Amino acid sequence: MTRILFYLNGYSHDVWREAFHAVDPDIDFRSYPDWGDPGDMSGDTYTLVWEPEHGLLKEYTNSKVTFSIGAGVDHIMSDPDLPTNIPIVRMADDGLKEGMAEFVVMSVLMHHRSMPELLNAQKQKEWARIFAPAASSIKVGIMGYGALGQKCAEVLRPLGYQINSWSQSAKADEKGVTHYTGMGELDNFLTNTNIVVGLLPNTEETTNLLNEKRLSKLPERASIINVGRGNLIEIDDLIKLLDNNHLSAATLDVFKEEPVPKSHPAWTHPKIIITPHIAAVTRPKTAAEYVVRNIKNMDNGQPLENVLNIQRGY
């Protein structure tokens, strides 16, 4: 029997239990703290967690795989007692990818059509007639080209945008996407991008990657959409470049500190749109299908999808 040990504070587990039983009625779905004996080897056990208590995963060494409920794994990696012999799989189900693509397309269109400026003009009761260029003249640069970034590119391409990607590792050639790789090509990526979409993980290398020096490489009136991790942007530098009109706007869904303190200048900045880390939310139905598919892959000797590389942090 397949056993799922589920951990998610603050939300009902019933919808998750129902989602798993819709995929496989025989799954033994257990909500924390009713996980049972950590030494129970009577079935195949897997953990599905979000922000688990430190030390908990080390206790349940009968788990064959740890699945993250979200795309991020910071909440797991922060555990000093994290067992290193159990694979960790990042969530990349269809629902999560679709949700992220929806948010990114909305934000790209808003930046392309100058909606932050128009909304600010409305507040001032100004009749600001701003005419946007064609989508075909806009270069959208996606920083982080994993499952989420690829889905965003797939949805943006039919709208006519030129798509760039930047990743630490090389990507296969792809029609309609120009790939940039590594720190050596970051400046070139930035100088050729009008709208940046941040989808990078939280690692030592990505922390404050977009600082004043690098943000200044972007063309004048470029804009930022950050939906990955808040550590990517040095927020004071971003505000400085918005204030001097080098950058035109920013949509920020993620921050280094969440919720954002009420005193933070981003709340009232006329060129910044804040959303409360809701760009993409894991949907129980597609997440259950994703987890069960990976379990079947493992049973059949096939590789797991989106396995975390602990050394790289993503």
SS3 138: coil
Residue 30 appears among annotated catalytic residues: no
Is 246 among the catalytic positions? Answer: no
Q: How far is it, in rounded angstroms, from Cα 242 to Cα 245? A: 5
Q: Are 164 and 187 in contact (CB under 8 A)?
A: no
Give the CA-trace dihedral at 297, 301, 302, 305, to 10 degrees. 60
DSSP string, 25-61: TT-EEEETT----TT--SSEEEEEEESPPTTHHHH-T
Check: CB of residue 82 under 8 Å from CB of residue 272: no
Tokens 């990818």, residue located: 97
Catalytic residue among 214, 246, 277, 293: 277
Sequence-ordered list of residues with C-beta below 8 angstroms from that of 186, at least 6 positions apart, any chain: 166, 180, 209, 214
- CA distances to 6, 89, 122, 128, 217 from 69, rounded to whole Å, are 9, 9, 40, 44, 36
Helix (H, G, I), strand (E, B) or coil at 266: helix
Catalytic-labelled residue, pool 30, 112, 229, 269: 229
**Start-to-end C-alpha separation, the chain:** 30
Q: List, by residue number, the catalytic residues.
A: 229, 277
